[in-house]
Amino acid sequence: MRYVDAHLHLWNIDQIRLSWFREGDGLPARATVGELLQELAQADVPVPERAVVVQAADTLEELRWLLAVAEQDRLVGAVVAQYEPRSGLWAGTAQAVLEHPALAGIRLAVPTRAADLSDVPGVAELAAGLAGAGRVLEMLIRPEQLGAVAELAAAHPDLTIVLCHLGLGAAEPSDVWRDGLRAVAPHARVAAKVSGLHQPGGDAARVRGIVRDAVEILGIDRLMFGSDWPISTRTCGYSETLARTRAALPELSADEADSFWRGLATRLYLG
């Protein structure tokens, strides 16, 4: 099986502090390439061709560490920085390393912000800057904010926007979410990651319904696989994430399957 993992995280608490990390919350203190490869080997799962690593917190120290990992390990094909505003810098914290070849985009993680994103500083400047630089804007949002994403896409037609976790994540699918996807659907440069959807236990029917709706509204050619490792390990192992995702997909042609599992992520992040 050939695939690209379009969404995973790396950290090592012994080296880089994450403000949100707490012992006992079910996550490992070390989530490095070595730990990932060990888990894959134990489960007899093929190693992804490349991976897109999304910054887990928002400090420049952590971002520099991730970029150094990308320089040292070919598996890490691209890094997406977390947006942390800085006065006068459209890319915020990431401005300092914007020229690094592995920096593929910046993620706006704002699910607790206003539905119209009016309380997020620098959104327009960030979108314009990324469009000009040919980089991706990722959006970690809640369903009520999808309408604001559609407005952002309309205002910046040259910008590639990728919805983390289908703009839904572990929330229950609703008409608000489906209507939000319909709002972004006319904007051809909006894509989404099928990631971060799974819940403990038997949620196969739930995830199959979510993926069915996403395929119907956005089209399979605008969707890509992401494991959300190691956040996902609180729900299931990497091999099970792959299996659950595969089971949730409709029947795909060879070209559609290649696009979902590796083609779109390669084009947007690694090309």
Predicted confidence (pLDDT) per residue in 243-255, tens digit: 999 999 999 999 9
With cut-offs at 50, 70 and 90, classify the pLDDT of residue 154: very high
Q: Determine the Cα angle at 221 with ends 217 and 227, to 5°.
A: 95
Backbone angles phi, psi at 132, to 5 degrees: -65, -35
The domain locations on the chain are: 5-270
Say which residue, 134 or 203, is predicted with more confidence: 134
pLDDT tens digits, residue range 186-240? 999 999 999 999 988 778 999 999 999 999 999 999 999 999 999 999 999 999 9
How confident is the model over 114-131, as a mean pLDDT?
97
Q: Residues with Cβ < 8 Å from 88, sequence gap 6 or more? A: none
Residue 170: pLDDT over 90: no
Continuous H helices in the chain? 33-42, 60-72, 123-133, 146-155, 175-184, 204-218, 238-248, 254-258, 264-265
Task: Quote the DSSP letter at residue 14.
Answer: T
Question: Could you give the CA distance from residue 195 to residue 207 in angstroms, rounded to a whole number?
Answer: 10
Q: What is the pLDDT of residue 24?
A: 87
Helix (H, G, I), strand (E, B) or coil at 12: strand
Q: What is the pLDDT of residue 107?
A: 98
Quote the longest CA-to-CA distance of the chain: 49
Return the CATH number of the domain spanning residue range 5-270: 3.20.20.140
Q: What is the pTM of this model?
A: 0.97
Alpha carbon dihedral 133, 138, 141, 144, in 10-degree steps, equals 60
Q: What is the pLDDT of residue 202?
A: 74
Helix (H, G, I), strand (E, B) or coil at 194: strand
Question: Could you give the CA distance from residue 56 to residue 20 in angstroms, rounded to a whole number?
Answer: 9
Residue 171: pLDDT over 90: no
Q: What is the pLDDT of residue 71?
A: 98
How far, CA to CA in Å, does 174 sit from each of 74, 160, 170, 192, 247? 39, 25, 12, 17, 21
Residue 110: pLDDT over 80: yes
With cut-offs at 50, 70 and 90, classify the pLDDT of residue 12: very high
How confident is the model over 14-41, as a mean pLDDT?
95
Q: What is the pLDDT of residue 131?
A: 98
Pairing of strands 30-31, 11-12: antiparallel
Q: What is the pLDDT of residue 200?
A: 84
pLDDT tens digits, residue range 61-109? 999 999 999 999 999 999 999 999 998 999 999 999 999 999 999 999 9
Q: What is the pLDDT of residue 217?
A: 98
Average of per-residue pLDDT values in the chain? 96
SS3 breakdown of the chain: % helix, strand, coil, rounded to 5?
45, 15, 40
Alpha carbon dihedral 228, 31, 138, 69, in 10-degree steps, equals -140
Task: Quote the DSSP letter at residue 37.
Answer: H
Both tokens assigned to 28: 């490992």
How many C-beta atoms lie closer than 10 Å to residue 175's C-beta? 8
Q: What is the pLDDT of residue 1?
A: 86
Question: Could you give the CA distance from residue 32 to residue 85 in angstroms, rounded to a whole number?
Answer: 27
